[in-house]
Every structure is written in C-alpha cells, then in structure tokens.
Amino acid sequence: MRERLAILAAVSVLTVMLAMTLAPLVLMFYTSVKPTGTLFQRSEEILVADFEVGQLNSIGGPFAVTAQGTSKVEMAFLPPEPVVRQNRRLSIRYEKGDGPARWSTRISQDMRKFSFLEFSAKGEVGGESFTIELADIKGRSTGLGLQKFLRGGLKTSWETIRIPVEAFNLTVLTPSLPESQAEDLVFSFDEGAGTFYVDDVKLIFKKWTYNNYWDVLISGPFGRYSWNSFFIAIAVTFGNLLFSTMVGYAFARREFPFKKLMFFMIVGSIAIPPQVLMVPVFILMKHLGWLNTYWALIVPNLVAPFNIFLMRQYISKLPLAVEEAARIDGASEYQIFTRVIIPLSQPALAVVGINTFMGSWNTFLYPFLLTNTVEMRTLPVGLALYKSLHGVDWVHLMAGSAITALPVIVVFLCFQRYIIEGLTRGSTVG
C-alpha cells in the first residue's frame, strides 16, 4: 500500500512539473495564432457601429455621405439623440442620379484578421439593394453586391446579413503593403431610390491566423537577426566542441604543473554568475575594439568551464587500453585524440553541442550589452526591442517568440536521445 501511494505521489508530482513546463510553451503557440487578444483572452469581434453614441462609430470613425450630380443621400439617427435603454439605429435614404452616391464610415482594419462582415438591416418597402465596398486610404476599393448574398434585396423585417471577408478581392487594398488595410466601409448605391435601416455593424475575427508570423518577419530585420543568431551559435558550439574536448583530454590524461589548481579554478568559475562578469567583459571588449562585432559575441564564449568539466569527467572514464593499443600501433597524440578520444566521446560531445547551441541561441544579456546597431542584433535582442517598439501586442509578440523558440525545439527533439545517452553512458563506461 505504501509503495502504491509513493508511486502515485511521484507520478502526480511529475505530471504537475510536466504541465508547468509545457503550459507556457502551449500558451505561446496558442496566442501566436490568434487574430488579436491577450495571453488569456480572445476577442471574437469588433463592433464597428451600433449608432448609440453621437455621430461617431464605436471605434471613433465618423459617418459620412457623398452625393454628386443629381444623386442624393441622406442619413438620420432614429431616435435623433441617444436614449437610455432604447436601441438607436441609422436610416439611409438614397436616390441614384447621374453621379456617385455613397455612405461610408471609417474602420481602419487589416481585413486579413476577419472572417465575416456582419450587420443588421431592413428595407422600408423591401427590395432595396446596394454594393458593399472596402476602400483603402488611397481610394482603391473592392466591392460586392448585396444581392449576391440576399436575393431580391432587403426585406421589410430586420435580418442579420453576414458576408465572408474572403469574398472580397483583398489584394486590391494596399498592394504595396503585406496588410490588406481597409480604411473605410462603404455602401454604394448603383440605381434606383429607397430608404433602409442599419444597425450593429461588426467585423468577426477568424478563429486562427498564421499572418502574425509573416507580420513579425517583415516588420523588422528578422532575417538579419536570425543569421546573426545562427552564425554566432554555430561558431560558439564548434569552439566549445573542439576546445572543451582538448582541455578535458589534457586534464584527464596528461600531467602538467598546477594541474589540480587549474582544474579547481575552472570548476570554481562555474559558480560565478555571468552578471558579475558583465563590466570586465565590456571593458575588455572596448579596449580590444571589438564592441559591436562578431568577435565580442563569439570569442569570450568559445569555451565554457562546465563543458571542460563534463568532457574531463567523461574522458577520464574511457578505458586506457584503447589508447595504449593505439600507441603500440604507432599512433601520435594527435591521432589518438582525433581517432580514438573524439569517436568514443560522441555522447558527451552531443550533450556539449546541444546545450551550447541552445544556450548561445537564447542568450540575451551579452548581445544586448555588446552590440548597438540593428545589423549586429540577435533574435532575443531583436524580439525584446520589437516588444518595446510595438507595446504589448501579444499575438505578434508570441509569434516572434515562437519563431525564436522553434529552432531550439527542433534541435532538442532531433537530438534528445544523444543527450540522454550522454548523461547516462558515463556511469557504465569502463
């Protein structure tokens, strides 16, 4: 009974720990594909106009009518002034002559985020119809006739009209930008005359969108940030694989003066917080003239004390007989290192390589301190500055975080078995 309770407690603790570990990752990806909202909230719609407040719509845009030539357009609120607990609607009377006749209101929205345009309407006598248009700031517009979605035009009773945004040709809007930015919603009258009533104009958000990732990539030099992070991470990883193995091999197999003291200093340096070294490293890089260069981001990190300790411990457990056999066969120290030690140390090298790559890819402190131009920033620094430039735009911030995290996740998933093997194999070597 006690054993079962112990197992149940252990499983419960592990489950809670796993959930706490995975929850932020799941929340990040979930938020990154929302059209809008925050980490824990999701917006379903934007109420463009319910006509309850003054002469402006719900997002601060004015209502306007345009008529030229013999055309006429008039609008009126019913009732004229807002009344508590009484629904207020808009009446639009039109008469199409030899000039354009339009009613419009400002929306200023990226239409890629929405799935439907929705509004309630009814006609005075029935059969009224018009063209619904989305226009950008330069007057380019895309439109759809109401009769395409409501045969015979409006009825004399209120009904909700829902028009798929994808039915509009959004490529017409702001073609020089990645967004399909609609500045105005327009009702354009093509023929005839009539009066109809409108209420509750809404834009319904999509459930999911991947445009956030594209927006992040094009909103700043994320290509340059990615290249910097990749180049630095590869260089630092290669340096640690080479130098940590060389130093670890020397400590494990060779004798030289002050060996124990030097190894003690290396192990002791692991306990030094990186924040303590910020000022000395910065001053050193400044005197060397390496500030805002790849040298400052790579050279100080080419070998890590923990990696030396790990390789020394692993190599010291390798059987000496293999090296002695290689010496008898006439192998030099270089050949023994490259053809014996390195192949036998592959599990430990995998741990060093993967941990170093992930640490270098995710590092923020030193790239932030040692660089001061866009061309030298890494992804974590660029992401932090993206946040400060755009405020807390959660959906795009999480999309940027996902872009930064994906390479590390992929590397870990591809090489996780080497990490486990490297951490456990040392107990059985020899």
101-127 mean pLDDT: 92
pLDDT of residue 429: 45
Q: Compute the distance between CA of residue 92 and CA of residue 87 in angstroms, rounded to an integer.
A: 16
CB 405 within 8 A of CB 28: yes
CB 352 within 8 A of CB 241: yes
Q: Kindly indicate the confidence band of residue 156, based on its pLDDT and cuts at 50, 70 and 90.
A: very high
The domain made up of 214-425 has a fold known as MetI-like fold (1.10.3720)
Q: Compute the distance between CA of residue 335 and CA of residue 41 in angstroms, rounded to an integer.
A: 61
Relative orientation angle of helices 222-253 and 211-219, to the nearest 10 degrees: 80
Strands 101-110 and 63-67: antiparallel
pLDDT greater at residue 250 or residue 81: 250
Cβ neighbourhood burial of 421 (10 Å; 0-12, 13-18, 19+): middle
Domain boundaries, the chain: 45-208, 214-425
151-180 mean pLDDT: 91
Instruction: State the average pLDDT for the chain.
Output: 86
Does residue 258 carry a pLDDT above 60? Answer: yes
CATH number, span 45-208: 2.60.120.430
- Angstrom CA distances, 361 to 155, 302, 384, stand at 61, 14, 14
Does residue 117 carry a pLDDT above 90? Answer: yes
Which tens digit of pLDDT belongs to each residue from 357-416? Answer: 989 998 988 999 999 888 899 988 888 877 655 456 778 778 878 878 888 778 777 766
Q: Kindly indicate the confidence band of residue 419, based on its pLDDT and cuts at 50, 70 and 90.
A: low
Which tens digit of pLDDT belongs to each residue from 300-337? Answer: 999 999 999 999 999 998 888 888 888 888 888 888 88
pLDDT of residue 55: 63
Q: Kindly indicate the confidence band of residue 75, based on its pLDDT and cuts at 50, 70 and 90.
A: very high
Does residue 206 carry a pLDDT above 60? Answer: yes
